Amino acid sequence: MKELKNKYQKHMLICTHKRDPKIKECCFDKGAAELRKQLKEKMKTEGLSHKYKVIATSCLGHCERGIAAYVYPDKSVYLEIKNTQEDLRLLNNLFD
């Protein structure tokens, strides 16, 4: 095993899990993939992609409560995120 030093100051894991909507709600259908894309573009545009990483994940266990995101090393969990400009702005502020 080889350990590497993490070059990122923060990681944001966003649930982009997609499942059959007849079975159960999912973050993908609530716009999670587009939200992640917008966050990644914002990081790149502002020259922050070398410091912060936005990662798509499978189910984080909160799909019924809106889009879910975990931020490390803050150990924060954000639920009920909506793919809106207001929530995008709030999430961007986590990287300041």
pLDDT tens, residue by residue, 29-68: 999 999 999 999 989 999 999 999 999 999 999 988 889 9
In whole angstroms, how far apart are CA 88 and each of 6, 47, 55, 95?
A: 25, 17, 15, 12
5 is a domain residue: no
- Name the domain count of the chain: 1
The pLDDT of 74-90, averaged and rounded, is: 91
Identify whether 15 is part of a domain.
Answer: yes
Region 10-33 average pLDDT: 90
Does residue 45 belong to any structural domain of this protein? yes
Domain hosting residue 51, numbered range: 10-93
Does any domain span residue 14? yes
Number of other residues whose CB lies within 10 A of the CB of residue 14: 26
CATH code (residue 26): 3.40.30.10
Supply the pTM of this predicted model.
Answer: 0.86
pLDDT over 80 at 21, yes or no: no
Q: How many angstroms from the chain centroid is the CA of residue 60?
A: 11
Residue 59 lies in a domain: yes
